[in-house]
Structure 1
Amino acid sequence: MSQIIGFPRIGENRELKRALESFWAGKISQNELEKVAKELRAKHWAEQKELENVCVNDFSFYDNVLDLAYALGAKPARFQHLSGLEGYFAMARGHKDGQACAMTKWFNTNYHFVVPELSSSDTYKVNASAIIDQYKEAKALGYKPKIALVGLFTFVALSTITQGEFAEVFDAVKSAYFTLLDELAKLDSSVLIEFSEPIFTRGVDERFYHLIKPTYDAIANKGIKAVVTSFFEHSNEASEILLESKIYGLGLDFVYGEKNTQILPALAKSDKLLFAGVIDGRNIWIADLESKLALLEQIATHIPKERVIISSSCSLLHAPYSKSAETKIDSEILSWLSFGLDKVQELLVLDALFKAPSDEARAKLTHNQALIAARKSSCKIHDSAIKARLESTLKTARDESFAARIKAQRAALAYPNLATTTIGSFPQTQEIRTLRLGYKKGAISKEQYDDGIKAYIKDCIAFQEEIGLDVLVHGEPERNDMVEYFGEQMKGFVFSQNAWVQSYGSRCVKPPIIYGDVSRPKAMTLEWITYAQSLTTKLVKGMLTGPVTILNWSFVRDDVPRSVVCKQIALGIADEIDDLQKAGIKIIQVDEAAFKEGYPLRAENIAEYESWALECFKLATAIAESSTQIHTHMCYSEFNDIIKTIEALDADVISIETARSGNRLLQVFKEVGYTHEIGPGVYDIHSPRIPSVEELEGQIRALLEVLPKEQLWINPDCGLKTRKWEEVKPSLANLVKATKNVLHTLQ
């Protein structure tokens, strides 16, 4: 038997994305949106029909954690008066009555979830109808459903507790969660629910580990077949407890949690099923079926084969849907790739090989072995020049201390206290997207393309000058994506036509695929940055994506260590910084939006990651002259645990996302005596709300309660690519006005 933990939900051609955005724009009704959703679910279940069961409740209009919060009635007070999809999307996107809930990364992936806000004073009104309706839909179509549900411990542990202690909040949420399960238990005599508990991979948490057994015993006593699954690492401490409970099965990730094999002897003594995650749900390389089969045979020395369910390592949400549209990827490289539908087939072949080998399954194994061997020996993946460069002496530190650098930069660049700027990107209009697509397809000439990009940059610079921003950006109209743009110009990358994965809500990304050694043949941003600077006497930032983020937001080759790939990318970024500074660009931003999300989940593995990730950022930026100011940007991070690493990055200015968190995230910078300059986001760009001058003044004054004006920059939370000009223009104008008002009162 084989199964998956979840299926991609955005649609093969991003049908859900388009429907959501049309609904938000008022172009389609709720009924029309729900019709698209129902059609997608039916299609996705059809793709799973050969598996043991189909996944129910892995579908979502925005995010599964938000779905659970809404089903439990765990709504912040500011949204309690809202119902239906209005209340649901208010929590995700904001509303005139209040700011959206925070978003952060789902463990160490590039998927974002909406962070629930829980309080000891909350009351809960449970509504299981959405899950029940999907379950009945699947059964009506003739499928055997399994409910995918975020586990109680993961849900509470990932939430923000706004009032009260963890224990009392946990008890209140548990009561509501159990009420939800009581409703689901009525669906069948023994309903199968897979509880996702990735929080267990972080190790022992004294707040709740003593509650794991009694909680899951109580769930099993409801007549539910409870499978508790963790992923992204090993979870041996929790597994030992769960083996003593009444659960039906235990799901373990054997791709990213190799130490999960240590629990097998204990599991063998129980009667529980093992849901063995052996097919990688996060990356896109074909599985080495021979080695996977060997792993399963090793497992079978402990667990009888009839008790082993072969599974994906995690939800296929993190993988693209299908290779069917990929007509431009080199056929040899394409043969090495495995997208969502391919992974389903890999599971079915493995199951056949493991349980009852057929001639067809053996033939597929032989074909797979040939592809694995061809990839290892292919000349496409090796570059002797980049290997030699990595083996040479590499510079990984700036020439002068920060104190000396910032003094010189302040004098030379002459920017004010509370300097205003943006993170980099400006709205990607339909005209710009059409221009890029036309050039890519050969429908327009390079001259026409260049003229269109320059016109956008010119308007962008003029707007920023008009409202009075201090440090400008060119707006990035030439870039489809902050990682893809750079990967397209580096060797060792390949790009798909339709390998979209969901980042959050309707936001999808098409990660580059790193298949071989990486190098930068020529300048990547110089033309557009220098053109923008030629239009103004104000400072224009050069905008680059950092090596760690390029790595973490790509599908990375799995035949060499990630650290090696990252160093190769870092050398290319260093070359770009040198070209920019030699062309007169004085401020260069090297975004590391994904630095934190690459962190290992187990504390014992963090030091190794920090060491090479830090080395790669410094390898990229050490080439900067003392007078060149290096900025960086980080998204959705809790910085308490990595503040020393942030200091060690030695960027002159760091901008961070804080708008949904007030000045709380800044406290740690003050506590450690952080001396470098900081740009905390003062408004949330993930919401269409336009912040008022008064609101922004309040945000700025809150920042000044923590750090002095000499250390602060004022900017939005993140890039403005996904926003509309009619939102961006008044928001930024208000930002500049609010900053000037505050500065006036400080004089």
Structure 2
Amino acid sequence: MLKHNLGYPRIGIQRELKKACEAYWSKKIDYNALFEVGKKIRDKNWKIQNKAGLDLIPCNDFSFYDHVLDMSLLLGVIPESYISIPVIHNNIDLYFSMARGFQKNGWDIKAMEMTKWFNTNYHYIVPEFDKNQKFSIFSKKIFYELEESKKILKSVKKIKPVLIGPVSYLFLGKEKEKSFHKMDLIENLVPIYIKIINEIKKKGVHWIQLDEPILVLDMSEKEKKVFKYAYKEISKFCYGINIMLTSYFDGMSENIDLLQDISVQGVHIDLVEDSNQLEKILSFFSGKSKMILSLGIIDGRNIWKNNYADSIRKIEKTIESIGENRIMIAPNCSLLHVPIDIEYENSIHMEIKNRMSFAKQKIYELNDLEKIIKGDKRILLSNSYLLEKSFFSSIFYDKKIKEKITKITNQDIQRENHFHIRQKKQKKKFHLPMFPTTTIGSFPQTREIRSLRNLFRKKKLSEEEYNEKIKSFIIDVIKKQEEIDLDVLVHGEFERTDMVEYFSEKLKGILSTENGWVQSYGSRCVKPPVIYGDVSRIDDMTVEWTCFAQSQTKKLMKGMLTGPVTILQWSFVRNDQPISHTAYQIAWAIREEVLSLEKSGIQIIQIDEPAIREGLPLKKKNWKSYFDWSIKAFRISSCGVKDETQIHTHMCYSEFNDIFQHIADLDADVITIESSRSKMELLKAFSDFYYPNEMGPGVYDIHSPRIPSVEEMFDLIKKASIKLPIENIWVNPDCGLKTRKWQEVLSSLYNMTKAAKMARLKLINSYK
């Protein structure tokens, strides 16, 4: 029984990669210094996994920005607009320009589209394909890193290069024109994969991992046909090296027959997300005498210790069916989605910490499982005792909170009147112009603000001094918004480290870590909170700051909250009760805050739900149950207010066209949503579906440093006005402005308000 890993976190325990990339972008270090940081992180990761006794250790799982973008560079899938920039002289600058856009020396090229990686909070750069797309081996990164890993691991037998498989790579991309289907490119793509695999084979490598998460989806007949073709070709021309076909994030039993006529040496399945698939998978493997089955039994997306008894049952059932020599064990997916090492956490209550396991600890859990299989029952007993003990602890359970959730009624999830009635009351009350402008909430978090927060956290600054400083930032940002002439203002969120972490520190049953960093995209790292127990609101969380901000302006001030589904999705969630129960607990806590804001005179309240799409199950058969509880959770949080109080929500960086009916069911008065990178592609949904409420389709991509022009944003507003009633359109950025620099923000927002004013002049008259 071999132990292996699918991928390891690449940011560094102190976010070394983030700091190095941002230093490189600001020209504080050169590319040699940047590459040296990357090498140190890779070397350390390999040493940790080698010391843990893994039999196969991944390489090429490291990335400076995004592993899908790495594949695009490897395969030469580079849009012509980037290739043609004469001032880019090396691959790393080309790479970063694709990810972040390029605006310099008269050149102005947008960043490539970015979207969610399946149903995770990780974002990837979407490959763009032409009808006659040519593929080639453009980047040598995978080969360089393979040679590096040899020096660290000393044995080529331990090295397992990782690539996104050809079918999933095409699936993740988009056609730049409508005249072809991206899957038709498979015949051009597969020969390049064959070349890459055979080059890797020449290095003496025994195993290569091809990630095909498409196998857990509802694959179309075309996709199935393409899959069979691709792997028959790879099987035919890539002999002498073992291919591990990897699926994750759900079960693949519905697609297991696709492996019937192909020759791969191993298949990895995710038994964390779908343990029920094991029976059917084992039935298939019983007819494949040599194929190895890799069991994904350690949760690579959550931070709780493995239930050894449950894992051992799965391992023993598999041994009984196909024999121990045909089994590997591993985490269910890459450990990219969890923090690196629990030992760097010093302030978590020991009763909670003893139940937690980060990436490094999860690698060692594989060792424990192997020892148990070999007869060491003490490890199993100790694990079982730990899990059972916590079941009765008051730290994790609160009977009153559980009972409150059982008493939620239909009245609690309905606004008093229909939207068209509410809209009339709100327009009469607010007197906003057509195409009202606003932002999503946060403004730049400068080094000064982060330093201030750090001093306060270390108790080098009194609470009074800290609060006065935050107030000065709020006053300043209000003046800036008034000068720009935005219609609905925000307070800037300077007191908040992160839109979820902030609330986790104020809710009972949730904790924040010190160093639990996880990559979200590029250099953007987040610290997901840990929902360890029953959740409740202790006191006001945002009221004081919002009311102070409102007192500084005559314009409308939005109250800013994070919604229950997003808090849930962007946290590590307790795994000992149905997720819907946890969602309702959080929702009720947010509801109490909403009502407190309303009572304090705040008339517009935004409840952000950027994660509602990413939480959607990958298989459509599971969508209904998800929407049943997620929509109910949002409505619990939002439906207690009066008609005149305007509820906003925000969503970003996911595909929404197929779920707009469900988004409408949220019944928010206004939804702001990402659309600028995709050039308003989301508006296609309104050809078939009439969205009844107000909407702000984003006109400004905040994930790129480039400054959009007035004309560019006006064109996007104009596109929106063709599909949406103009009286229902808001003008806003795609997302919060926390990660941007002030110069970019002010110039972009000034252009945005000018574009909105241009729309009032040019579009209103044309639609009368």
Normalising by the residue count of structure 1, what TM-score does the alignment of the two structures yield? 0.97
Change (3 A) 1:128 1:696: closer
Larger deviation, residues 201-210 vs 557-566? 201-210
Q: State how many pairs are aligned.
A: 742
Give the secondary-structure state (helix, strand or coil) at the position aligned to 2:567: helix
Gaps of 5+ in 2: none
Matches of 1:625 and 1:177 in 2, distance apart? 59
Corresponding residue of 2:91: 84
3-state DSSP class of the match of 1:642?
helix
- 1:378 aligned partner: 393
Residue 31 of structure 1 is matched in structure 2 by: 32
**For residues 126 and 663 of structure 1, what CA distance do their matches in structure 2 show?**
33
Shift of 1:184: 2.6
Tell me the distance in 2 between the aligned counterparts of 1:636 and 1:712: 19
Q: 1:474 maps to which residue? A: 491
Which 5+ residue runs of structure 1 have no aligned equivalent? none
Q: 1:738 aligns with which of 745, 755, 765?
A: 755
Letter of the 1:260 partner, please give it.
Answer: Q
Amino acid at match of 1:194: Q
- Partner in structure 1 of residue 23 of structure 2: 22
What RMSD, in angstroms, separates the aligned Cα atoms of the two structures?
1.3
Render the CA deviation track for 1:339-381: whole Å, top value 9, x for unaligned.
0011000011112222x23xxx443333222211221121111
Residue matched to 1:607:
624
Of 176-185 and 485-494, the range deviating more from structure 2:
176-185
Aligned 8 A contact 2:183 2:226 in 1: no
Could you tell me which amino acid in structure 2 is paired with residue 61 of structure 1? F
In structure 2, which of residues 147, 161, 179 is the aligned counterpart of residue 147 of structure 1?
A: 161
SS in 2 for 1:194: strand
Equivalent of residue 266 in structure 1, options 284, 294, 309:
284
* Structure 1 equivalent of residue 3 of structure 2: 2
- Structure 2 equivalent of residue 565 of structure 1: 582
Rounded to whole Å, the distance in 2 between the matches of 1:167 and 1:511 is: 36
**1:444 has 2:451 as partner:** no
2:328 corresponds in structure 1 to: 309
1:58 aligned residue: 61
**Alpha-carbon separation, structure 2, partners of 1:148 and 1:551:** 30
Mapping of residues 550-561 of structure 1, within 5 Å:
550-561=567-578
* Aligned partner of 1:464 among 458, 477, 481: 481
Match of 2:218 among 188, 198, 203: 203
The farther-off stretch of 558-567 and 708-717 is 708-717
Q: Matched residues in 2 for 1:157 and 1:422: separation? A: 33
Structure 1 counterpart of 2:43: 42
CA–CA distance in structure 1, aligned partners of residues 159 and 183 of structure 2: 33
3-state secondary structure, aligned to 1:241: helix
Corresponding residue for residue 704 of structure 1: 721
- TM-score of the pair, normalised by structure 2: 0.95
In the alignment, which residue of structure 2 is the partner of 1:160? Answer: 174
What is the CA distance between 1:222 and its match in structure 2? 1.4
Give the aligned partner of residue 74 of structure 2. Answer: 71
> What CA distance in whole angstroms lies between the structure 2 residues aligned with 1:186 and 1:128?
18
Separation in 2, partners of 1:48, 1:510: 23
Q: Identity, % of aligned pairs?
A: 43
From 95, 98, 104, the counterpart of 2:102: 95
Alpha-carbon distance in 2 for matches of 1:597, 1:420: 27
Within a 5 Å distance, the mapping from 1:308-387 to structure 2 comes to 308-354=327-373, 356-357=374-375, 361-387=376-402
Q: Which amino acid aligns with 2:393?
A: S
Tell me if the contact between 1:231 and 1:257 (Cα under 8 Å) persists in the aligned partners: no
Residue 136 (structure 2) pairs with residue 125 (structure 1): yes
565-574 vs 85-94, which deviates more?
A: 85-94
Q: CA deviation at 1:167?
A: 4.0
CA distance in 1, matches of 2:120, 2:517: 15
> For residue 106 of structure 1, what is the aligned residue in structure 2?
117
Which of 257, 260, 268 lines up with 1:251 in the alignment? Answer: 268
Conserved? CA contact 2:707–2:747, under 8 Å: yes
Amino acid in the other structure paired with 1:17: K
> Following TM superposition, by how much is the alpha carbon of 1:639 offset from its aligned partner in structure 2, in angstroms?
1.8
- Tell me the distance in 1 between the aligned counterparts of 2:408 and 2:109: 53
How many angstroms apart in 2 are the aligned matches of 1:670 and 1:402? 21
Shift of 1:185: 3.2
Mapped partners of 1:638, 1:9: distance in 2: 26
> What amino acid does structure 1 have at the position aligned with 2:285?
L
SS in 2 for 1:477: coil
Amino acid at match of 1:554: S
Q: What's the CA shift for 1:670?
A: 4.7
Aligned equivalents of 1:204 and 1:534: distance in 2? 55
**1:527 matched residue in structure 2:** 544
SS class of match (2:413) = coil
Local SS of the residue matching 1:517: strand
Q: State the SS of the aligned residue for 2:701.
A: coil
Aligned mates of 2:123, 2:597 — CA distance in 1: 33
Residue of structure 2 in register with 1:11 after alignment? 12
Query: How far apart in 2 are the matches of 1:729 and 1:18?
Result: 25
Do the aligned partners of residues 191 and 161 (structure 1) sit closer, same or farther apart at CA in structure 2, a change above 3 Å counting? farther
Deviations 1:425-459 (A, max 9, x none): 00001111111121122111111011011000000
- The DSSP-based 3-state class of the residue aligned with 2:614 is helix
- Deviation of 1:139 after TM superposition, in Å, equals 1.0
Q: C-alpha displacement at 1:53, in angstroms?
A: 1.7
Q: Which residue of 1 aligns with 2:420?
A: 403
* Letter in structure 2 aligned against 1:169: L
Compare 313-322 and 229-238 and name the one that shifted more: 229-238
Contact 2:161 2:207 in 1 (8 A): yes
8 A Cα contact 2:194 2:238, kept in partner: no
The residue type paired with residue 206 of structure 1 is: E
| Counterpart-to-counterpart distance in 2, 1:469 and 1:558 | 43
Partner amino acid, structure 2, of 1:18: K
- Verify the 8 A CA contact 1:240 1:263 in the aligned structure 2: no
Q: Which residue of structure 2 lines up, in the alignment, with residue 177 of structure 1?
A: 193
CA contact (8 A) 1:128 1:184 kept: no
Once the two structures are overlaid, the 10-residue window that deviates more, 254-263 or 648-657, is 254-263
Q: 1:412 aligns with which of 429, 449, 454?
A: 429
Q: Distance in 2 between matches of 1:411 and 1:172?
A: 60
- Give the residue type in structure 1 aligned to 2:98: M
Q: How does 1:473-552 map to 2 (within 5 A)?
A: 473-552=490-569
Partner of 2:405: 390
| Range with greater deviation from structure 2 (703-712 or 645-654) | 703-712
* Partner-residue secondary structure (3-state), 1:301: helix
Give the letter aligned to residue 100 of structure 2. R
